[in-house]
């Protein structure tokens, strides 16, 4: 059983300077950080990115934190369109802008020694049929995967409710269409499993295990895509953590609360306390089962 390595997403600490956020997570006992490239935290479009990335790598090393690079910033490319442009947009220039951001994220991840780069498909544009959207997605992702392969950093695609690629079945459709390239992996969001997958979250973990490259975690309710603090949703976490530990997954399990930055420091503390307690309950449950 591989011990869980917990992280917290900087998109849930957007009111803190990045250095303050990292110091907080290290002090609380987190193993790492899910770093969303955004205007307030390692802006991928600002000058001297390589210099700033090298400085961050030294800081992470000094704090003993590992990192995953996430690319879900809402307005980093377009200040007026959430998550725009996407890899599905009709305009080739728009698709190229998103592709360049992902390629930049791969370079940053390699320089930071990150264990994965996270991304998602985006929402199918109006007046675009599903087959066309899938074709754009596959074609746009191909050069990003080539960059990830060259850098030795997995690209972990996240099924996102409401997006073209929204389920585990959709991930497998993409994987088959691209011929199962080695750099292509999966970001599994535990709350999203509760929200819309037919299987319970713990079964989703087991089903996803061969492709698991990044994990996000929070509470959620069935049929409602709202990231909730632990204890405010419906998920039974000890079985989920038990399934994660059994997969042999060695990356970070990152708390994902992007709408809670106003309470970020307190929630970061409560989240790690909750997950450590749930992990202890998982271990106790397993030990009791072994003794009976």
Q: How far is CA 273 from the centre of its chain?
A: 21
CB 118 within 8 A of CB 72: yes
pLDDT at 292: 53
pLDDT at 287: 76
Map tokens 């790690």 to a residue.
272
Concatenating the DSSP letter of every residue in 220-241 gives: EETTEEEEE-TTSSS--HHHHH
CB 82 within 8 A of CB 136: no
Tokens of 75: 């307005």
How far apart CA 212 and CA 171 sit, in angstroms, is: 11
For the chain, 292 residues long, give each residue's pLDDT as a single digit of tens: 678 999 999 999 999 999 999 999 999 999 999 999 999 999 999 999 999 999 999 999 999 999 999 999 999 999 999 999 999 999 999 999 999 999 999 999 999 999 999 999 999 999 999 999 999 999 999 999 999 999 999 999 999 999 999 999 999 999 999 999 999 999 999 999 999 999 999 999 999 999 999 999 999 999 999 999 999 999 999 999 999 999 999 999 999 999 999 999 999 999 999 999 998 888 887 777 766 5
pLDDT at 286: 77
Tokens of 287: 């030990």
Helices (H), the chain: 18-28, 49-63, 92-112, 130-151, 168-177, 190-196, 201-208, 237-247, 264-291
Q: What is the pTM of this model?
A: 0.96
Contacting residues for 177 by C-beta, under 8 A, at least 6 apart: 134, 138
How far apart CA 56 and CA 174 sit, in angstroms, is: 33
Mapped onto helix, strand or coil, the DSSP state of residue 280 is: helix
pLDDT at 291: 63
How far apart CA 123 and CA 83 sit, in angstroms, is: 9
């Amino acid at each position: 059983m591989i011990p869980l390595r917990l992280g917290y997403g900087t998109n849930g600490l957007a009111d803190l300077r990045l250095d303050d956020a990292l110091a907080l997570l290290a002090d609380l006992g987190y193993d790492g950080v899910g770093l969303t490239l955004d205007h307030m935290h390692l802006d991928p479009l600002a000058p001297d990115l390589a210099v700033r990335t090298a400085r961050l790598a030294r800081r992470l090393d000094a704090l003993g934190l590992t990192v995953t690079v996430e690319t879900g910033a809402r307005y980093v490319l377009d200040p007026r369109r959430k998550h725009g442009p996407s890899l599905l947009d009709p305009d080739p220039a728009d698709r190229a802008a998103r592709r360049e951001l992902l390629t930049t994220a791969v370079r940053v991840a390699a320089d930071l020694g990150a264990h994965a780069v996270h991304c998602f498909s985006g929402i199918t544009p109006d007046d675009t049929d599903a087959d066309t959207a899938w074709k754009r997605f596959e074609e746009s992702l191909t050069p990003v995967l080539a960059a990830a392969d060259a850098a030795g950093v997995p690209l972990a695609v996240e099924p996102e409710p409401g997006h073209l690629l929204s389920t585990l079945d959709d991930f497998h459709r993409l994987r088959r269409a691209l011929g199962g390239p080695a750099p292509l992996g999966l970001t599994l969001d535990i709350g999203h499993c509760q929200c819309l997958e037919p299987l319970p979250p713990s079964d989703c973990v087991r089903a996803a295990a061969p492709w698991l490259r990044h994990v996000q975690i929070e509470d959620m309710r069935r049929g409602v895509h709202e990231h909730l603090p632990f204890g405010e949703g419906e998920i039974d976490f000890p079985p989920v953590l038990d399934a994660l530990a059994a997969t042999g997954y060695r990356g970070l399990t990152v708390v994902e609360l992007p709408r809670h930055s106003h309470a970020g420091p307190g929630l970061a503390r409560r989240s790690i306390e909750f997950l450590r307690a749930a992990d202890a309950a998982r271990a106790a449950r397993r030990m009791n089962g072994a003794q009976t």
